[in-house]
Structure formats: structure tokens, C-alpha cells
């Protein structure tokens, strides 16, 4: 696997564009991704029972398994907008389909932004007209900018691998900064590949990979109405179709997982108001399920996040979160340690406190990237979750989000 520059247009046959259509005051607010040919597609969506109109529309596209393009707007979520929201999502797809020369059933629609406000369809439809002639292989960056809301930077990743003698590329972009919580965070993510992949394989691979990437991040404990991850595979690399029995499947899975994992970590690094990135690794747990419950409970805890904001080695909050996680584990066997670029310090051994230097701990925890390891000594399963600290800026950002 080779890491390369790029995002959704790194793979052959994909074009994109992003521009300002007037939904926001100044910044880019609409994007489009287009595949030159029909692509095999799979998607996952929010677990929130309140689903935005674009999610309801996109679920039908994903079920059919074929797509040509994605139209995305930021600044308005088109959520909790009733029957009009569904009509507007369909109109968006119809407009893009007419320009591309395909059916509306091949067009994904995604939205992100304020909930409960109807779309300004004049701006949406005009935006699509403006986007279409701007589509290019160099448009990935502008598209990544256009899908942002409170994000402070764009999130892109791309890699190449060799599959049946052909170079295959996987690229992607994501947005997300707040309302991020396990079981699909408040995020939009779009993954493109020129690999030929069977529909069944792509669906299974996406479901499994999301579980270990986007479902293992937390910023603030909120899950949105619009969370979406879409994958499109157009087959233009010319490789033999990848299935689970293919000799190159493991290599493709590793590359695919890397792209989603990097995007997930970028989202948590950009958590609203965040000053520190936190990785929580649980080792030697009784089962994978238990390991995931433990890791996610820790990075989702507001008290743990607040302690990291203060660079306070308050390990009791971590064990407390593990205790209410619902996981099966024996607290008296747990070892716990903190590390960063400034070193490592063990704070718990066999469930009991170890003497340690508070000054050294503070030095370690003042760094921008903090790594926590909990060794359960009860099996061989492990899981990793990612989060960030909870700061004053988080309240400031969300206190006036609509204005």
C-alpha cells in the first residue's frame, strides 16, 4: 500500500467540484462527485430514529446498489422538514441527473448544517447548474471544503495498491467536528475507488470497516440526523473483480480500512474546540465486543474529556467509565498507562494505584496527542477508540451555532 496525495478524485474516472451557492454567507457550501460510469455502491447511515430527508432518499439508492453521482450541501441539514424535505431531496437528484444524463435513482443527495430549516431550492438548483461544468479531476479539494460546517480543516486521504497486476486507488473525504459519537457520528464521508468490487463484498466490507473506524470515535456524545458514509466503486482500474475469495481481498481490505481509519481520526483531531487528540486502546479483553464497549465508554465520558483538557492524570474517571460500559471484565486485573511524545507513565497495576510523579504526568498530558492503554489481562481481544478533550470553546461554538 502506498499513501498518496488526494481525496475523492484520486481514483480513475472520478471528478468533483465545490463552490459557494449562497447557502452560507461566504464559504463554499455545495459539492458534487461524479463517476464517469455507473458505480457499484454501498452506504451506511445514522442510527438516529430522526433521519434527515437525504438519508431517507439515499437508503433507496444504496439498496439498489448502483450510483453515478453525489450532490452535497452544507449550511442546511434538510432534517425535520417534513414532506417538503423529501420533495426537495428528490428535486436535487432530478436536477443533477438531467445534467449528467442518467436517472434520478442513480444520484445520492447529502446535506449537513442547521436542523429544522427548509432548503432554499432556488440556490440548490442554481448551485447544481454551476457545479456541473466545474467538475474535474482536480476538484477534490474544493469539494472537501464545501462539505465543511464547523470543521477547521478539510479531511482527505488516498492510497494505491496492486490488484491482479493493476494499480487500484482508494480515496475519500469526510466532514465532522461536533455531534460526533459512536454508531455513526455526525459526519459525512464519501469514498471512491476505481477497483472492480462485487456488490456483496463492498457492502460487507463497508459494514465491517465502519464498525472499527467511524463507529469508534466520539467528540461530544451526540449522534446526528444526517450521518452518512457512501462508497462508489467504478471498476475503471481494470482489475479482476474483488470478492472475499480473491487472492487480493486482504490487501484491498487493509487499504480500505486505512482510508476510513485516517478519516475517522482526522474528525476527532478536529473536534469542536478540541485541544488534544486521545487514543484509547484496550488490550487482552475477554472479547472484541467487550474491548469496544470499554474503549468507547472512556472516550465518550465528559469527565474523562474534561480531565484531559486540564492535563489531569485522573485515572479514576477512566476506570469508572470502564465500569459502567456494560463490558465483561475484572477491574482487579486492569493495568493503566498514559503516554505522549514526552514519555510514558503507568498509573494502575492489577486494579490498584501506582505511585507516580504528578509533574511527569502533567508534562505527558500537556501534549496534543495522548495515548491511553488499558490491559485487562483476561483474553486476547483488543479495540481502539479515538476522541478529544472537552473545552470551553466547545460550549462557545455550539452556543451560537445557528447565528
Residue among 104, 11, 118, 30 nearest 61 (CA): 104
pLDDT (0 to 100) of residue 113: 86
**Section 141-148 average pLDDT:** 96
Alpha-carbon distance values, 362 to 311, 313, 347 (Å): 6, 7, 13
What confidence tens digit (pLDDT) does each residue in 216-236 have? 887 555 556 788 999 999 999
Whether the per-residue pLDDT at 273 is higher than 80: the answer is no
C-alpha 66/C-alpha 97 separation (Å) is 14
C-alpha 391/C-alpha 395 separation (Å) is 7
Which one of 269, 289, 317 terminates a domain?
A: 269
**Section 132-157 average pLDDT:** 94
Q: Which three cell numbers stand for residue 230?
A: 457512501
C-alpha 273/C-alpha 330 separation (Å) is 35
DSSP 203-225: HHHHHHHHHHTGGGEESSS---S
Same domain, 196 and 62: yes
Residue among 70, 91, 76 nearest 140 (CA): 70
C-alpha 268/C-alpha 278 separation (Å) is 8
pLDDT (0 to 100) of residue 200: 97
* CATH of residue 370: 3.10.20.340
Average pLDDT, the chain: 91
Whether the per-residue pLDDT at 76 is higher than 50: the answer is yes
pLDDT (0 to 100) of residue 402: 45
Structural domain containing residue 49: 2-269
Which residues are catalytically annotated? Answer: 186
C-alpha 155/C-alpha 172 separation (Å) is 8
**Section 138-167 average pLDDT:** 94
**Section 362-371 average pLDDT:** 95
Same domain, 116 and 221: yes
Same domain, 32 and 170: yes
With 0-12 CB in 10 A as exposed, 13-18 as middle and 19+ as buried, what is 80?
A: middle
Count of domains forming the chain: 2
Same domain, 29 and 113: yes
CA dihedral 203, 42, 269, 186 (to 10 degrees): -110
Percent of the chain at pLDDT > 90 equals: 79
Same domain, 347 and 204: no
* CATH of residue 257: 3.60.70.12
pLDDT (0 to 100) of residue 223: 59
Q: Which of 63-67, 218-222, 258-262 is least confident? A: 218-222
Same domain, 247 and 353: no
pLDDT (0 to 100) of residue 178: 45
Same domain, 294 and 196: no
Same domain, 250 and 320: no
Residue among 279, 273, 305, 309 nearest 150 (CA): 273
What confidence tens digit (pLDDT) does each residue in 88-118 have? 999 999 999 999 999 999 999 999 988 899 9
Same domain, 16 and 120: yes
Same domain, 62 and 177: yes
Which one of 217, 244, 269 terminates a domain?
A: 269
Q: Which of 59-73, 100-114, 125-139, 302-316 is least confident? A: 302-316
Same domain, 308 and 370: yes
Q: Which of 161-170, 178-187, 214-223, 298-307 is least confident? A: 178-187
What confidence tens digit (pLDDT) does each residue in 296-346 have? 999 988 899 889 989 999 999 999 999 999 999 999 999 999 999 999 999
Which one of 252, 269, 286 terminates a domain?
A: 269
List 160's β-bridge partners, or say none: 2, 169
The three-state secondary structure class of 286 is coil
H helices of 270-314, in order, are 288-300, 302-309
Same domain, 226 and 314: no
pTM: 0.85
Phi first, then psi: give them for residue 181, nearest 5 degrees: -155, 150
Amino acid at each position: 500500500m502506498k499513501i498518496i496525495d488526494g481525496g475523492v478524485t484520486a481514483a480513475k474516472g472520478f471528478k468533483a467540484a465545490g463552490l459557494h451557492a449562497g447557502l452560507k454567507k461566504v464559504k463554499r457550501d455545495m459539492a458534487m462527485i461524479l463517476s464517469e460510469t455507473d458505480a457499484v455502491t454501498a452506504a451506511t447511515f445514522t442510527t438516529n430514529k430522526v433521519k434527515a430527508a437525504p438519508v431517507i432518499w439515499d437508503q433507496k439508492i444504496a439498496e439498489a446498489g448502483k450510483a453515478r453521482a453525489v450532490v452535497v450541501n452544507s449550511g442546511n441539514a434538510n432534517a425535520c422538514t417534513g414532506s417538503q424535505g423529501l420533495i426537495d431531496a428528490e428535486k436535487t437528484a432530478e436536477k443533477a441527473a438531467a445534467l449528467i444524463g442518467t436517472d434520478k435513482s442513480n444520484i445520492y443527495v447529502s446535506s449537513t448544517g442547521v436542523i429544522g430549516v427548509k432548503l432554499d431550492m432556488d440556490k440548490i438548483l442554481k448551485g447544481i447548474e454551476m457545479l456541473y461544468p466545474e467538475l474535474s479531476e482536480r476538484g477534490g479539494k474544493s469539494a472537501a471544503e464545501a462539505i465543511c460546517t464547523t470543521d477547521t480543516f478539510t479531511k482527505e486521504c488516498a492510497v494505491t495498491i496492486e490488484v491482479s497486476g493493476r494499480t487500484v486507488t482508494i480515496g475519500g473525504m469526510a466532514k465532522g467536528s461536533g455531534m460526533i459519537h459512536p454508531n455513526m457520528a455526525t459526519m459525512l464521508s464519501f469514498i471512491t475507488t476505481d477497483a472492480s468490487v462485487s456488490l456483496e463484498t463492498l457492502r460487507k466490507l463497508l459494514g465491517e470497516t465502519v464498525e472499527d473506524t467511524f463507529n469508534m470515535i466520539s467528540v461530544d456524545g451526540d449522534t446526528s440526523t444526517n450521518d452518512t458514509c457512501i462508497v462508489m466503486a467504478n471498476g475503471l482500474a481494470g482489475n479482476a473483480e474483488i470478492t472475499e475469495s480473491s487472492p487480493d481481498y486482504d490487501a484491498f481490505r487493509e487499504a480500505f480500512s486505512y482510508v476510513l481509519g485516517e478519516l475517522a481520526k482526522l474528525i476527532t483531531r478536529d473536534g469542536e474546540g478540541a485541544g488534544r487528540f486521545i487514543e484509547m486502546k484496550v488490550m487482552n479483553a475477554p472479547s472484541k465486543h467487550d474491548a469496544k464497549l470499554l474503549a468507547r465508554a472512556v472516550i465518550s465520558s465528559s469527565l474523562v474529556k474534561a480531565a484531559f483538557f486540564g492535563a489531569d492524570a485522573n485515572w479514576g474517571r477512566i476506570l469508572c467509565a470502564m465500569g459502567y460500559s456494560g463490558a465483561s471484565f475484572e477491574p482487579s486485573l486492569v493495568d493503566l498507562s498514559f503516554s505522549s511524545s514526552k514519555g510514558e507513565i503507568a498509573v494502575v497495576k492489577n486494579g490498584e494505584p501506582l505511585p507516580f510523579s504528578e509533574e511527569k504526568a502533567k508534562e505527558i498530558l500537556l501534549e496534543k496527542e495522548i495515548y491511553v492503554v488499558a490491559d485487562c489481562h483476561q483474553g486476547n481481544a483488543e479495540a481502539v477508540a479515538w476522541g478529544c478533550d472537552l473545552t470551553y470553546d466547545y460550549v462557545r461554538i455550539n452556543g451560537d451555532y445557528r447565528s
